[in-house]
Amino acid sequence: MRNLTLAAFISIFSLFSTLAIAAGPSSKLDQVDIDLTDKASLQRGAHTFMNYCLSCHGASLMRYNRMAKDLGLTDEQVTDNLMFTTDKIGETMQIAMRPEDAKKWFGVAPPDLSVIARARGTDWLYTYLRTFYLDNSRPMGTNNLAFKDVGMPHVLWEQQGYQALGEDGHLSVAQEGALTPRQYDMMSRDLVNFLAYISEPSKLQRLALGKWVLLYLAIFFVIALALKKAYWKDVH
């Protein structure tokens, strides 16, 4: 029985290892500095998300009024500048495009981005946004190093410009965009920062509460240890 259990464990471990390798990125990921306390970055990321992502990708687990509170914005600021798909501040970030239409136009319905940062990772998202390149074999004319044969077009091409993939596997500028490479990197970082926020909006509160929980456990441990010694001293 022990041998069977060990064999089953090894089989399951090998399966998950294989799936992890198969699902891994095809290129090295660029690291991004995420700071959920940087409200200015989150506000800029929200602006980019609403203007370039929300037309196709929803964030159905996030409400506009919750975002306003967390990002230091008023309801009026959100309503006037960041709400394009609804006029109710308490609504979630839904899109008007029907899934069946999206599948017909893009080949697959664009995923909801509520938890994309937790599913893919922030480094992957940052790399993905920065590694689109021209590819005439693709229906949209572009491909991506982090997501080969992706169906999504390069919606930020006006800001980044277009890149070409060389024979050595490196990207080079084929057409300049409105932003410099550094400015586009910052724009991508702000967008990923915002996606990390909506993936877990209560993370900062959870981490802050965790410190108090650990402090409570430490104090309780000292008290429990003293009680244990006092209880057992006559027995020993």
CA nearest neighbour of 49 among 203, 196, 202, 205:
196
Q: Where does residue 226 rank: exposed (0-12), middle (13-18), buried (19+ CB within 10 A)?
A: exposed
Tokens for 66, please give them: 């919750």
pLDDT digits (tens, 9 = 90+) for 148-197: 999 889 999 999 999 999 999 999 999 999 999 999 999 999 999 999 99
Q: Is the pLDDT of residue 10 over 70?
A: no
pLDDT digits (tens, 9 = 90+) for 52-75: 999 889 999 999 999 999 999 999
CATH no., domain 2-201 = 1.10.760.10
Q: Where does residue 19 rank: exposed (0-12), middle (13-18), buried (19+ CB within 10 A)?
A: exposed
This prediction's pTM: 0.77
The dihedrals phi and psi of 217, each to the nearest 5 degrees, come to -65, -40
pLDDT over 70, % of the chain = 88
Confidence of residue 17 (pLDDT cuts 50, 70, 90): very low
Q: Which residues contact 130 (CB under 8 A, 6 or more apart)?
A: 30, 160, 184, 185, 188
> Are 151 and 163 spatial neighbours (Cβ–Cβ below 8 Å)?
no
